[in-house]
């Protein structure tokens, strides 16, 4: 494989020295970019984009071509590819988000679920990873990802997105045996899926625990973090002669940073409700931190965006171990020029914090 021309993202995740704070954006390939919307129209729909390695590569590269400041590419895919490969029948309703043709509601339903083979059942994702990696040609590292078991379980039990997760939480409390079996199968699936991405060329991986923060403290430990810990322990941590960093991101997980930092990952993602300086004091000696600007700041004028970038950098302070990112994904209505102002500000303002 081609040597990396820019590896500051990987170095920062391992708390090694960097010249400026590296930056990327969750959902950086997305609807805010006119070129993405054109590709999606050409592909026909979202799933056709995801399932065609050439289209997935095309949209992954679009933000990198527009923004030379980006220090990483992230695989263009969806967190729900695993439940789809388990036979749940993923589809997207306009204005409704993801839906499943089948739902999981009983122990028998869960016992019948297969554990997908990454090459056979999710080969289109592996092909996308290897295609993107070749196209990058060492430009920046490629991030692979998956949803967390708890997050995937919520969609499988609810049949789609939910505001209160009442079916999932009812199963958790009424039938913990069934919920643990589902989460265990998902943890096995995520582990093999991420390892498949690493073997195909992903140079770092992130686990998106989007809905873990909706659990109580005790339920989070038992039903979300325990399974992410299991995944981390089963991941390939070195490939192609260098370490493969792992990032855990629990949205609204700021109360539990100490526990998450003990899970074995190299870095924690922070949403915007955490103060990054405080997070560094709590866990920054153990892990790198990624985050954590509120994505809606990108609706503000460039000078306000720059001021908020400066505030977050100052809060983190001097030294490596910080990957700048948004506290969640960039939203579709953001002006691409504002995203560019954000990325430029990170590199311009962060040099003073690195020797």
User: What is the residue-wise DSSP string for 273-331?
Assistant: TS-HHHHHHHHTTTSEEEEEE-GGGGGS-HHHHHHHHHHHHHHH-SSS-EEEEESSPPP
pLDDT for res 160: 87
Residue 27 among known ligand-binding residues: yes
Distance of CA 268 to the CA centre of its chain: 11
Quick check: is 2 in a domain?
Answer: no
pLDDT tier at 95, thresholds 50, 70, 90: low
pLDDT category, 138, cuts 50, 70, 90? Answer: very high
Domain that holds residue 338: 8-353
Instruction: Give the span between the Cα atoms of 77 and 125, in whole angstroms.
Output: 7
Mean pLDDT, to the nearest integer, of 342-351? 98
Per-residue pLDDT at 161: 87
Residue tagged active-site, from 71, 78, 121, 127: 78
Tell me whether residue 27 is in a domain: yes
**Per-residue pLDDT at 11 exceeds 90:** yes
Please say if the pLDDT value at position 92 is more than 90.
Answer: no
Number of domains comprising the chain: 1
- Residue 258 neighbours by CB under 8 Å, 6+ apart: 282, 283
In this predicted model, what pLDDT tens digit does every residue of 213-260 receive, in sequence order? 999 999 999 999 999 999 999 999 999 999 999 999 999 999 999 999
27 among known catalytic residues: yes
Q: Where are the alpha helices (DSSP H) in 148-213?
A: 149-158, 166-174, 176-200
* 29 is annotated as contributing to ligand binding: yes
Segment 322-334, tens digit of pLDDT:
999 999 999 999 9
Whether the per-residue pLDDT at 189 is higher than 70: the answer is yes
**Which residue in the list 7, 8, 11, 27 is annotated as catalytic?**
27
3-state secondary structure of 101: coil
Which of 32, 36, 67, 155 does the annotation list as catalytic? Answer: 155
pLDDT digits (tens, 9 = 90+) for 79-89: 999 999 999 99
Is 3 within the bounds of a domain? no
| Residue 188 domain-assigned (yes or no) | yes
What is the distance between the alpha carbons of residues 272 and 249, in angstroms, rounded to a whole number? 12
Residues in the chain: 355
Q: What's the pLDDT score for residue 45? A: 87
pLDDT at 1: 60
CA distance linking residue 317 with residue 311, whole number of Å? 10
Is 186 a member of any domain? Answer: yes
Q: Would you say 89 is a known binding-site residue?
A: no
Tokens of 259: 């526990």
Beta strands in the chain (DSSP E): 73-74, 90-93, 97-100, 142-147, 204-209, 238-239, 242-243, 246-250, 267-269, 288-293, 322-326
Residue 81 CB neighbour total at 10 angstroms: 22
Structure letter (DSSP) for residue 239: E
328 is known to lie in a ligand binding site: yes
Question: For the residues 286-304, what does the mean pLDDT come to?
Answer: 98
> Known catalytic residue: 127?
no
Domain contains 1: no
CATH of residue 46:
3.20.20.210
pTM equals 0.97
The reply, when asked if residue 210 is annotated as ligand binding, is yes
Whether 344 is a known active-site residue: answer no
* 174 in active site: no
Mean pLDDT calculated for residue range 187-216 = 97
- Residue 244 lies inside a defined structural domain of this protein: yes
Q: What is the pLDDT of residue 238?
A: 97
Mean pLDDT of the residues in the chain: 96
Based on the residue annotation, tell me whether 139 is a catalytic residue of this protein: no
The answer to whether 204 is a known ligand-binding residue is no
58 falls within a domain = yes
Predicted pLDDT at 317: 98
2 pLDDT band (50/70/90 cuts)? confident
């Amino acid at each position: 494989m081609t040597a990396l021309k820019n590896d500051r993202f990987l170095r920062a995740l391992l708390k090694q020295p960097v010249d400026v704070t590296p930056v990327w954006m969750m959902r950086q390939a997305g609807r805010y970019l006119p070129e993405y919307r054109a590709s999606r129209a050409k592909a026909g729909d979202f799933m056709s984009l995801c399932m065609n390695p050439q289209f997935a590569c095309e949209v992954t590269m679009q933000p990198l071509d527009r923004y030379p400041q980006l220090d990483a590419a992230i695989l263009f895919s969806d967190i729900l590819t695993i439940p789809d490969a388990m036979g749940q029948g993923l589809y997207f309703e306009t204005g409704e988000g993801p839906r499943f043709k089948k739902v999981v509601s009983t122990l028998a339903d869960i016992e019948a679920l297969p554990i997908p083979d990454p090459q056979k059942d999710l080969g289109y994702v592996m092909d996308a990873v290897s295609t993107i990696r070749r196209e990058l040609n060492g430009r920046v590292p490629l991030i692979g990802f998956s949803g967390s078991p708890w997050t995937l379980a919520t969609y499988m039990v609810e049949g789609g997105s939910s505001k209160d997760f009442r079916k999932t939480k009812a199963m958790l409390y009424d039938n913990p045996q069934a919920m643990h079996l589902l989460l265990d199968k998902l943890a096995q699936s995520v582990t093999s899926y991420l390892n498949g991405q690493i073997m195909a060329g992903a140079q770092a991986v992130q686990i998106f625990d989007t809905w873990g923060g909706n659990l109580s403290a005790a339920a989070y430990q038992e039903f979300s973090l325990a399974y992410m810990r299991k995944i981390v322990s089963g991941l390939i941590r070195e490939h192609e002669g260098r370490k493969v960093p792992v990032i855990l991101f629990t949205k609204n997980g700021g109360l539990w940073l100490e526990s998450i930092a003990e899970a074995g990952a190299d870095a924690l993602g922070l949403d915007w409700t955490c103060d990054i300086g405080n997070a560094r004091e709590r866990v920054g000696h153990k892990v790198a931190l990624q985050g954590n600007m509120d994505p809606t700041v990108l609706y503000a004028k460039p000078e306000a965006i720059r001021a908020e970038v400066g505030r977050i950098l100052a809060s983190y302070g001097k030294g490596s171990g910080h990957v700048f990112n948004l506290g969640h994904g960039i939203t579709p209505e953001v002006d691409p020029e504002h995203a560019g102002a954000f990325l430029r500000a990170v590199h311009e303002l962060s040099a003073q914090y690195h020797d």
